[in-house]
Amino acid sequence: MATAVADIQQKLKPQAAGVVPIKVGWFGGQGSGKTTSAAMLALALSVEHHNHAPVWVTDTEPGWQFLKPMFALEGVELVQRTTPTFKAMLSDIREAEKAGACVWAGDSLTIIWQELMQSFKMRNGGRIPINVWGDIKALWSEYTTAFLNSPMHGFALGRLGNVMEEIEDEKKPGDTKLVKTGTQFKAGGSESFGYEPHLLLELSLERKAKVRAGIRKESEGRMVHRVDVLKDRTWALNGKVIRWSDKPRYDKGGYKQVWDSIKPHFDGVQLTLAPVKIESGQSSTALISDEGHSDYYERRQRREILVAEFNAAIELLWGGSAKAEKQMRLKVFERIFGFRTKEAAEAAPLETIERGVRIMQAFEARCKADGSILSKDEAEILNTLDIDIAACDMGGSDDIPF
């Protein structure tokens, strides 16, 4: 029994000691091999470096259930979640980490992006106003941060998008036409998601020509999966073209074809010695209000209102341009917040600004009740202000009525 428990605990380790997670983006057209190739790399990582730890996938289409025999053959658990929403995807990542998964894959990220857009449209009368795009990007960054910061290896799979540019029509001077100038990972709006992964792979299909009796027939050969390495931050695979032959079935150890090709990137990542994390925020489609605004937007709006309210209160009490009044405003500001510069105030948490407004409201009410306070000297005024500061910190002040 003790041995069995030890084996389970070993498998649930999110990453083996010293293994730095890789972050891979896969995109391409229909049938190009994104899902199967990603599954083989996930198997390789689990078997070769994580003692057969589980692989999780947020599968929006879905299709990974057809790959379960591969995972069963290698003794790796495949956990497939099929709720195709942005909110569910973030939950899946957190749950996968807790379960000790070594790889998490999102397939397809394009579908998730479209669902997020639809969520905002539903909250905005079927359209997305231009002023809402900042909120959408702020929500989307919640995923990109989780993707990059996770201790799991991260795979993002998406559909192929065309990059179109408007150029002058040579046949019709003065007219323009749209032409395809490239491809991109279709997710994240006008910008390709390809900026985020450390390794970006574009997959497509080629047919290997079949030669019969000296006759070369291009249309009869076996399919080959072509992989163009568009980006590799380790430089190990930059600009390379990789080809994986199509197989009639999966045999044990069949992942090695993909693993051997990608391993130079994996080795390059390990030379960085440790993952580098970026700070993450909190957001979700569930935080979008009935007015179509996200929690991020509403907190920003509330912050602007509170700052304006605080400035109005302090200007009402010491609104002159004389040196003494300017100094008094500065000293009151520092007394309440503990800092003096505008830059520090802009970086302060919303809760700090709310506290300052409560103090100013209490002090303003005190001055209205006792008109002699403002005629006292500076030290006495600040001592009186300290009473309201202490009352606020003890929970004695009323809530802000907006």
Instruction: Tell me the residue ranges of DSSP E strands in 218-283.
Output: 223-232, 241-245
* pLDDT tens-digit map of 198-230: 999 999 888 776 656 555 555 555 788 999 999
Task: Give the whole-angstrom CA distance, residue 95 versus residue 9.
Answer: 16
Can you give the pLDDT at residue 170?
Answer: 63
- In the three-class reduction of DSSP (H, G, I as helix; E, B as strand; rest coil), residue 106 is classed as strand
Can you give the pLDDT at residue 198?
Answer: 92
What residues have CB less than 8 Å from 251, skipping those under 6 apart?
none
Nearest alpha-carbon partner for 352 in 297, 394, 306 = 306
**Amino acid identity, residue 10?**
Q
Residues in the chain with pLDDT values less than 70: 1-17, 161-194, 209-221, 273-297, 341-347, 396-402
The alpha carbon of residue 321 and the mean position of all alpha carbons in its chain are separated, in whole angstroms, by 47
Domains of the chain: 2-271+281-287 (3.40.50.300), 295-393 (no CATH)
Q: What is the pTM of this model?
A: 0.60
Task: Give the whole-angstrom CA distance, residue 119 versus residue 349.
Answer: 28
Can you give the pLDDT at residue 349?
Answer: 78
Please report the sign of the dihedral spanned by the C-alpha atoms of residue 65, residue 61, residue 29, residue 195: negative
Can you give the pLDDT at residue 133?
Answer: 78
The alpha carbon of residue 380 and the mean position of all alpha carbons in its chain are separated, in whole angstroms, by 51
Longest dimension (CA), the chain: 110
Can you give the pLDDT at residue 127?
Answer: 81
